[in-house]
């Protein structure tokens, strides 16, 4: 049967609309950094094989959730407020916050599998039950977090990407900050710790543009750590090498 050209075009448009409605287009996202470092210890492989799946926040990856259905955080944490740590490194701070705040659910996102394995070992040792772990890109997690669902977020000693031509790879760019702002509740707190002066500069420029206000009123507000702070191995390395930590606190505007 010969289908008239106008009808062919109409059918093509209808099919394209239906496809875009049913399944969002997977964005092209460049990832800069390492997924894996040194060979994992046998115990770390065991943690990954036995524990990681049970700590999943839900279907985050595009292969398992192409429709980008929002995560059910009420089901995940039983209605508790939810915090988020982006790039948790070895997991020291994440474990500390989970132990100190048992009435809070905390999601940690980290693409570096060695760091994930270290965290899983710490979770076993500490016995905390209010954590979920996404072993991948935080941008994929932002896709499926419900809007205004996160009460607090942490970005602690992120990769500094020191070369000028690599500054666009830093987390504090619109590509990351705008979706983060979308999932944070109005009035929620966003903490950033870094020992790199130029990262401080870029953070103070970009974060307010994404809908945040910096809460510092005096030098001690960024020179002194937060009251509930635990110094991480990354911070200890910075101190040994003579660099000065900065502690920046932002509030998501209403």
Active site amino acids:
159
pLDDT for position 1: 44
Q: Determine what percent of the chain is predicted with pLDDT higher than 70.
A: 85
Q: For the residues 222-235, what does the mean pLDDT come to?
A: 96
Contact 109, 138 (CB under 8 A): yes
The third-level CATH classification (topology) of the domain covering 41-252 is Rossmann fold (3.40.50)
pLDDT for position 44: 86
Q: Determine what percent of the chain is predicted with pLDDT higher than 90.
A: 75
Beta bridge partners of 82: 105
This prediction has a pTM of 0.85
Residue 85 has pLDDT above 80, yes or no: yes
Sheet strands side by side (includes 246-252): 131-134, 105-109, 82-86, 150-156, 184-194, 246-252, 212-214
pLDDT for position 21: 42
**Domain positions in the chain:** 41-252
pLDDT in tens, 5-61: 544 444 444 444 334 445 677 776 555 555 556 678 888 899 999 999 999 999 999
């Amino acid at each position: 049967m010969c289908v008239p050209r106008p009808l062919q075009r109409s059918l093509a448009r209808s099919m394209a609309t239906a496809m875009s409605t049913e399944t969002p287009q997977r964005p092209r996202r460049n990832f800069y950094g390492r997924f894996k470092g040194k060979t994992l210890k046998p115990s770390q492989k065991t943690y990954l094989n036995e524990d990681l799946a049970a700590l999943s926040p839900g279907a985050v990856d595009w292969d398992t959730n192409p429709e980008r259905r929002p995560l059910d955080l009420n089901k995940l944490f039983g209605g508790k407020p939810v915090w988020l740590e982006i790039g948790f490194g070895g997991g020291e701070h994440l474990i500390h916050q989970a132990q100190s705040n048992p009435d809070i659910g905390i999601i940690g996102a980290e693409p570096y599998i060695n760091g994930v394995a270290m965290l899983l070992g710490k979770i076993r040792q500490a016995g905390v039950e209010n954590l979920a772990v996404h072993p991948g890109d935080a941008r994929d997690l932002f896709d499926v977090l419900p809007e205004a669902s996160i009460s607090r977020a942490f970005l602690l000693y992120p990769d500094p990407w020191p070369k000028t031509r690599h500054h666009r790879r830093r987390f504090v760019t619109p590509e990351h900050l705008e979706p983060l702002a979308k999932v944070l509740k109005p009035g929620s707190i966003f903490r950033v710790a870094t020992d790199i002066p130029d990262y401080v500069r870029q953070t103070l420029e970009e974060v307010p543009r994404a809908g945040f206000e910096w809460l510092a009123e005096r030098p001690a507000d960024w020179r002194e750590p937060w009251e509930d702070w635990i110094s991480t191995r990354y911070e200890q390395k910075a101190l040994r090498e003579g660099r000065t930590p900065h502690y920046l606190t932002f509030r998501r505007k209403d």
